[in-house]
Chain A
Amino acid sequence: MSAHADGAAHAEHHTHYTTTGLDNRKIAIWAFIGSECMLFASLIATYLIYKGKSLVGPYPHTEYIDAAGKVFKPILDIPVTSASTFVLLASSFAMVLALQAVQLKGVPLPSGAGWWTRAQRSSQLWLAVTAALGTTFLGFQAYEFTAFVNEGLTIKTNLFGSTFFTLTGFHGAHVTVGVLWLMSLLWVDRTRGLAGPGDELLVDITALYWHFVDVVWIAIFTLVYLIQ
Chain B
Amino acid sequence: MAHESAHVDKHAAHAHPNGATYLKIFVILTLITVVEVWAYYIPALVASPLFNPSLIIMSAVKFAIVVMFYMHLKYDHKIFKMLFSGPLVIAMATIVALLFLFRQLSF
Contacts and interface: CB of A to CB of B under 8 A. Distances in A.
Interface in A61-94: 78, 82, 85-86, 89-90, 92-93
A49 B102 contact: yes
Given A27-B79, A45-B94, A17 B87 contact: no
Given A89-B29, A100-B19, A48 B79 contact: no
A228 interface: yes
Contacts, number: 148
Interface stretch (A138-146, A148-156, A175-183, A214-222): A214-222
B15 to A, nearest CB: 11
A89 B62 CA distance: 10
A22 interface: yes
Contacts of B99: 45, 48-49
Contacts of A34: 83-84, 86-88
Interface size class of B (residues with CB under 8 A): 35 or more
A113 to B, nearest CB: 12
Contacts of A208: 71
A147 interface: no
Given A34-B84, A34-B86, A78-B37, A21 B26 contact: no
A120 B99 CA distance: 45
A221 B59 contact: yes
A166 B84 CA distance: 24
B90 A22 contact: no
Contact of A97 (B1, B22, B77): B22
* Interface class of chain A by DSSP: helix
A226 B9 CA distance: 40
Interface string B15-58: 01011001101100110010011011100001000001001101
A193 to B, nearest CB: 20
A97 B69 CA distance: 12
B59 A219 contact: yes
11 contacts: A17-B2, A34-B83, A34-B87, A37-B84, A41-B91, A48-B95, A89-B26, A89-B30, A120-B19, A208-B71, A226-B39
Interface of B: 1-10, 13-14, 16, 18-19, 22-23, 25-26, 29-30, 33, 36-37, 39-41, 46, 52, 55-56, 58-59, 62-63, 66-67, 70-71, 77, 79-80, 83-84, 86-88, 90-92, 94-95, 98-99, 102, 104
Given A34-B86, A97-B22, 12 more contacts: A17-B3, A19-B2, A21-B8, A21-B9, A48-B104, A78-B37, A82-B33, A86-B30, A90-B26, A93-B22, A95-B70, A116-B19
The 7 closest A-B pairs by CB, nearest first: A21-B5, A41-B91, A34-B87, A222-B59, A30-B83, A93-B26, A21-B6
